[in-house]
């Protein structure tokens, strides 16, 4: 994110006006507001690198002919996005990325 540019372009008043006008239409307010007001200034990046949605692991593998496997993710991906209701920090999670999440959790919060 280019924070200097954001500080110049993003106006608090514009956000408040947009929310007041569209309050009942907002499903994901933060994303809806950013997309509606600033879409033309947003640069698209590879989602497999910067916003990897873990729910689509099998899809990414198929679409990349198995290039985007777990080794690829460990080497290249910057952010894993745990979308949806299933979160690895909640008890009972047993998704594909459970062990990886626990590994980084332990690094972040050593005993």
Give the tens place of pLDDT for each residue, 58-89: 999 999 999 999 999 999 999 999 998 999 99
Place of tokens 């894993």: 80
Q: Across residues 7-34, what is the average pLDDT?
A: 92
For the CA atoms of the chain, what is the radius of gyration? 18
pLDDT at position 99 is 93
For the chain, what is the mean pLDDT?
93
DSSP state of 72: H
Residue 77 DSSP class: -
Residues 6+ apart with CB under 8 A from 107: none
Say whether pTM exceeds 0.85. Answer: no
**Would you state the pLDDT for residue 42?**
87
Q: Which residue has the tokens 């640069």?
A: 43
What does the DSSP 8-state code read for residue 68?
S
Q: Which residues contact 73 (CB under 8 A, 6 or more apart)?
A: 52, 80
What's the average model confidence in pLDDT over 31-60? 93
Per-residue model confidence (pLDDT) at position 2: 85
């Amino acid at each position: 994110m280019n924070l200097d540019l954001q500080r110049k372009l993003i106006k608090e008043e514009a956000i408040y006006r947009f929310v007041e006008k569209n309050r009942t239409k907002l499903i994901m307010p933060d994303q809806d507001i950013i997309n509606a007001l600033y879409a033309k200034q947003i640069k698209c990046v590879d989602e497999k690198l910067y916003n990897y949605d873990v729910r689509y692991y099998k899809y990414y593998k198929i679409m990349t002919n198995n290039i985007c496997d777990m080794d690829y993710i460990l080497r290249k991906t910057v952010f894993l996005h745990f979308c949806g209701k299933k979160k690895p920090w909640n008890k009972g999670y047993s998704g594909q990325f459970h062990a990886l999440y626990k590994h980084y959790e332990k690094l972040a919060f050593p005993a």
